[in-house]
């Protein structure tokens, strides 16, 4: 019922800017606040979206190529984008999902995408939260792109503990075996959508399973990329 009410409010009542409260003509973020959001770095690794000093893949992706092929990050995971992501996930501010989808369309995405696949939640986590924030972003995005929204090709079969505070190696071990798929993806080009990318361990494991099922390419779209430590 709360989710339905959020949808109705977002659709019928013009919303003020989430960040400053100024009239925003029905948009989640006003033009002035949008101009101040922490964007993704101008020069980033095309594979994992981490900042780099010059063009080309970062050292980590060259030394240990991940299973996914590219990553597009819309923002850096810093204030106030972190508050926006949190509000969508835990306060059901669903207007932000449409905003993130619109930013993605303006930013530009990998060509020839066959499907948009939102990062799945474990059933227990989904029941606890009530909805999957990645699905809410992926829905308008897939509709605008004219491609399928795939909700069953990837299943999260392990409810892994939080990744917060773990090293890259620990995160990779933590997510091993977290996903499964029974869908034939031969020749398909999949765009996986997630909210925040830290080390890429979860996205890498998802891509590994999708390619095992025959996916030709797996590209990532993330709302925010956590800056590297230091």
Query: So where are the chain's domains?
Result: 38-225
Averaged pLDDT of the chain = 90
CA distance 205 to 173: 10
Question: Average pLDDT in the 88-99 region?
Answer: 94
pLDDT of 151 over the 80 cut: yes
- Give the pTM: 0.89
| Residue 2 pLDDT | 47
Q: Does domain 38-225 have CATH number 3.40.50?
A: yes
Question: Average pLDDT in the 61-85 region?
Answer: 97
Query: How many CB atoms are closer than 10 A to CB 124?
Result: 10
| Residue 159 pLDDT | 82
| Residue 167 pLDDT | 64
Question: Average pLDDT in the 139-166 region?
Answer: 87
Rg (CA), the chain: 17
Q: What are the angstrom distances between the C-alpha of 214 and each of 101, 155, 175, 219?
A: 27, 16, 21, 14
CA distance 116 to 55: 27
CA distance 21 to 24: 8
| Residue 26 pLDDT | 83
Tell me which of 1-5, 66-70, 140-144 is least confident.
1-5
pLDDT of 9 over the 60 cut: no
| Residue 168 pLDDT | 65
Determine the longest span between alpha carbons in the chain, in angstroms.
51
Q: What percent of the chain has pLDDT over 90?
A: 74
Q: Are the C-beta atoms of residues 37 and 166 closer than 8 Å to each other?
A: no
């Amino acid at each position: 019922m709360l989710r339905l009410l959020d949808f109705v409010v977002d659709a019928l009542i013009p919303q003020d800017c989430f960040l400053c409260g100024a009239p925003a003509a029905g948009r989640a973020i006003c033009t002035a606040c949008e101009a101040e959001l922490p964007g993704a770095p101008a020069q980033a690794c095309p594979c994992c979206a981490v900042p780099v000093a010059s063009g080309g893949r970062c050292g980590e992706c060259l030394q240990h190529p991940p299973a996914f092929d590219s990553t597009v990050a819309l923002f850096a995971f810093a204030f106030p984008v972190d508050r926006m992501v949190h509000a969508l996930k835990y306060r059901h501010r669903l207007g932000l999902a449409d905003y993130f989808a619109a930013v993605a369309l303006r930013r530009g995405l990998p060509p020839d995408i066959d499907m948009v696949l939102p990062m799945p939640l474990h059933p227990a986590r989904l029941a606890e939260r009530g909805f999957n924030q990645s699905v809410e972003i992926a829905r308008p995005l897939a509709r605008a792109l004219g491609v399928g929204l795939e909700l069953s090709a990837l299943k999260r079969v392990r409810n892994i503990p939080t990744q917060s505070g773990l090293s890259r190696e620990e995160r990779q071990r933590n997510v091993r075996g977290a996903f499964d798929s029974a869908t034939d993806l031969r020749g398909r080009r999949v765009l996986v959508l997630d909210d925040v990318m830290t080390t890429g361990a979860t996205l890498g494991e998802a891509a590994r399973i999708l390619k095992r099922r025959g996916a030709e390419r797996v590209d990532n779209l993330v709302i925010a990329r956590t800056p590297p430590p230091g």
